[in-house]
Structure 1
Amino acid sequence: MENKKKTTPKKQKPLLSRINAWLHLWLGISSGIILVFVALTGTLIVYCDELLDFSAGKALYVKEVKAQRLPVDSLLKNIHLAFPEREAPVILTSFKDPQRSVKFRMFSDEKGLSMVYADPYTGEILKDDGFANFFYITAHLHSSLLLHDPGIWIVDIATVIFLIELITGLVLWWPAKWTRSTREASFTIKWKARFKRLNYDLHNVPGFYSLLPALILTITGLLIAFEPLMDFTLKTLGGKESHEWEASLPGYQPGRTAADMNQTIATLFRQYPEAGAAQVYLYDIDSSGHYMMWIARRMGLKSVEGGHFKVIDRYSGQSLPIPRPHERAETIENTNWTLHMGVWKGQLGKFITFLAGLICTTLPVTGFIIWWGRKRKK
């Protein structure tokens, strides 16, 4: 009688493992295109500050440093005369370095976001740089796909899914038993392997190494996206925005002369010697008795590094006391933006964030290739 070879049935994985694998696969398949788009646009924004400075070129610096700066009101009038069709500047950035020009952030229907660089000593417009609008559009693609409210919800849901993908991916990555071979497979890429194995390694290994920064980017993104989540975080950490305090701030006083903003900024630079830039919010500056600003080591398009939040009395030029919970809320929100923009450790933080963004962009692609290869095999 011929002996029949017995085949041992393949041991089925535990139910929770199968559920985890199912979630990782189908949530990834359903949101992959959106996640690639969100990760790619976010990655493009990481080095926006350096690229904006490069685009500004010689306009970053003045031709000659003089003894006296023009009042900010005079600079604003010059800008209005030069660009009468545009909205008034919304943010002013001034630098401790006397050779640096003053930067104004402006919007217009025709040009979108632009950076206007002005000589603080002569009032000359050094450059009207529309390159900033590229990042303005990219940021809106990143947050809403330029689809307004529907796009915001699509991106927000995809971000929640990505958080689940990171957790389920870690569970899948974790070996059932740690041995020399599983350690090698989990932490190294076999560059000389066949395409199928190489693609698997490119999904598995960089996915693990980018896990922590990817979690930071995802969680901070969710805090930006979901206001109730941010409110809960602020409350938990002892922060609270005080609308009652804001209502009690000094109002506009017609006919009263405002203090020189340049002097106020210079005083703050002396108070915080480590600071290199000041950013003033100019919203409703002509009809308000106060203005808000940051004094910090570095200022970015959407980030403030090593900053102190200030509220200034427009007429005395003095810093107004800020309730501790409100000040903490501002600090927490800025810290969240700092982490999301990758400026938490200067250029090192930006590089890690950029690299993590590139890896996150590839994960849905390599994951899809793994699934497609297995599907074809079946």
Structure 2
Amino acid sequence: MAKVSNRFLFQLHGWFSLPVWLIFCIVCLTGTIAVISHELTWLTNPASRALNPDALPEKTMPELISIVEKAYPTAKVSTAMNFEDYLVNAVIFTDTDKPVAVAYVNQYTGEIQEINQGMTFINFMRSLHAWLLFPWESNYSIGYYLVNLMAFVMLGALITGLLVYKKFWRSFTQPKLRVDQGKKTVLADLHKLAGVWSIWFLIVMSATGLWYLIQAVLWHADYTIEEHPPLAAISELPASSNKMTTEVATDSIPSISSAPPVSLANALEITKQKFPDFKSSYIMPIEHNRDTYKLYGEGDFIFYDKYAYGVTVNQWTGKIESVREPDEMTTLQTLSHIANPLHYGTIGGIWTKIIWFLFGVLLTGMSITGFMMWGGRTVRAARNTDVKSNEQEVV
């Protein structure tokens, strides 16, 4: 039996690495598309466009929720979300014939432009990129771990690439692309140029990917990065609700029996008194008598996400039960709120999204050209091995 050579083992090792390359390429490609998923939705779905030809003022999210509740009297609204100014707001609700539905409401005209009962393109791309659509079991997903482990692949590729490519900084001042010296040379030059010009992008993607991995471990370990919003005290409930609460088991929560004195619109005004520059982006109405209004949004910190500011308001007293703001965040909370803007390039609106998209294309191209070069070397090495074997047999 012929002895297995080290070269063959090395080639075999490379072929076994193919699934890693494939996952890495998919993650890069889906992430690139996810960066502009809002814009692609605007282009492809007219119902998602928040057109405002009459220059109407923007309605508040409580007003949009009321519009949906009037159109669907038996509906139960769970969430309202704001995206880009040119996209409609999304009001998520359930109804007797709709287990989960999303109402696309124009925040300027108040028109319900579409009812979506399936997965949206934005959610699909973000889910495919973040956890490859693997199922979630309890509080973890294997796909989420696989995607975030690619941060080590990216970081390793960056470090080893810079070590191999001597004097890489010359590509900034003297870029070299030799198109007349064959496919191998063109691929090598393209790969090197893209890699050098993407150093900053690779660092950002690696750092945020490593954070997502840490976050996944914390989730899996049931570690709470942000405390759950508090409930209203039983003593603050009206007499009828208070009596009903004492008659049921202590671990159950009574449903809403009457309209609370503090409305969602009131809660928004209270929030704006706390944060004058507050712009709501995620609102959750009350679900039961002890629940609080949850209002999250953005402020004047551009590197934080659209949920960095938050207030929970007591529906019976109007008291602010808890506050979320960048100045009071722990290190882990800060990381969780700055990771997404850096990862998806939303820190500067459409212009930074375009930059992130272009460098995402470069990164995807690098993974493809790198595989093509590796494949070419593997094929050539296999051919050389066959030629040498034939020559030895002839001798």
Common fold: TM-score over 0.5? yes
**Where does residue 241 of structure 1 map in the other structure?**
226
Q: 1:224 aligns with which of 197, 205, 212?
A: 212
Aligned positions of 1:9-158 closer than 5 A: 29-54=18-43, 55=45, 56=47, 59-61=50-52, 74-78=66-70, 80-81=72-73, 88-93=77-82, 102-105=89-92, 114-117=102-105, 125-128=112-115, 133-148=120-135, 149-158=141-150
Q: What is the percentage of aligned positions where both structures have the same residue?
A: 20
Q: 1:290, CA displacement in angstroms?
A: 1.1
**Where does residue 392 of structure 2 map in the other structure?**
none
**Where does residue 304 of structure 1 map in the other structure?**
305
Name the CA distance, whole Å, in 2 between partners of 1:48 and 1:170: 32
Q: Conserved in 2, the CA contact under 8 Å of 1:35 and 1:159? A: no
Deviations 1:142-169 (A, max 9, x none): 1222232343343233343233222222
Name the CA distance, whole Å, in 2 between partners of 1:202 and 1:322: 50
Q: Equivalent residue of 1:294, what SS?
A: strand
Name the CA distance, whole Å, in 2 between partners of 1:101 and 1:30: 39
Q: Equivalent residue of 1:291, what SS?
A: strand
C-alpha spacing 1:192/1:117, structure 2 compared with 1 (3 Å): same
Q: Equivalent residue of 1:312, what SS?
A: strand
C-alpha spacing 1:370/1:317, structure 2 compared with 1 (3 Å): same
Name the CA distance, whole Å, in 1 between partners of 2:380 and 2:113: 63
**Where does residue 370 of structure 1 map in the other structure?**
373
**Where does residue 203 of structure 2 map in the other structure?**
215
Q: TM-score, normalised by structure 1?
A: 0.68
Q: 1:226, CA displacement in angstroms?
A: 3.4
Q: Conserved in 2, the CA contact under 8 Å of 1:46 and 1:353? A: yes
Letter in 1 for 2:202: A
C-alpha spacing 1:115/1:48, structure 2 compared with 1 (3 Å): farther
User: What is the root-mean-square deviation in Å for CA atoms of aligned residues?
Assistant: 4.6
Letter in 1 for 2:354: F
Q: Equivalent residue of 2:321, what SS?
A: coil
Q: 1:222, CA displacement in angstroms?
A: 3.1
Q: Equivalent residue of 2:365, what SS?
A: helix
Name the CA distance, whole Å, in 2 between partners of 1:265 and 1:316: 14
Structure 1, gaps ≥5 residues long: 1-20
Q: 2:339 aligns with which of 322, 336, 340?
A: 336
Q: Conserved in 1, the CA contact under 8 Å of 2:184 and 2:373? A: yes
Alignment size in residue pairs: 333
Q: 1:213, CA displacement in angstroms?
A: 1.7
Name the CA distance, whole Å, in 1 between partners of 2:17 and 2:200: 19
Name the CA distance, whole Å, in 2 between partners of 1:41 and 1:197: 28
**Where does residue 357 of structure 2 map in the other structure?**
354
Q: 1:169 aligns with which of 154, 161, 164?
A: 161
Letter in 2 for 1:289: D
Q: 1:268, CA displacement in angstroms?
A: 4.2
Name the CA distance, whole Å, in 2 between partners of 1:31 and 1:74: 49
Q: Equivalent residue of 2:120, what SS?
A: helix
Q: TM-score, normalised by structure 2?
A: 0.66
Q: 1:42, CA displacement in angstroms?
A: 0.8
**Where does residue 188 of structure 1 map in the other structure?**
175
**Where does residue 5 of structure 1 map in the other structure?**
none
C-alpha spacing 1:90/1:128, structure 2 compared with 1 (3 Å): same
Q: Conserved in 1, the CA contact under 8 Å of 2:286 and 2:292? A: no
Structure 2, gaps ≥5 residues long: 1-9, 136-140, 242-257, 382-395
C-alpha spacing 1:318/1:330, structure 2 compared with 1 (3 Å): farther
Q: 1:45, CA displacement in angstroms?
A: 0.9
Deviations 1:173-213 (A, max 9, x none): 243xx8xxx82599514153332111111111111211222
Q: 1:310, CA displacement in angstroms?
A: 2.1
Name the CA distance, whole Å, in 1 between partners of 2:174 and 2:291: 59
Name the CA distance, whole Å, in 2 between partners of 1:57 and 1:351: 20
C-alpha spacing 1:59/1:344, structure 2 compared with 1 (3 Å): closer
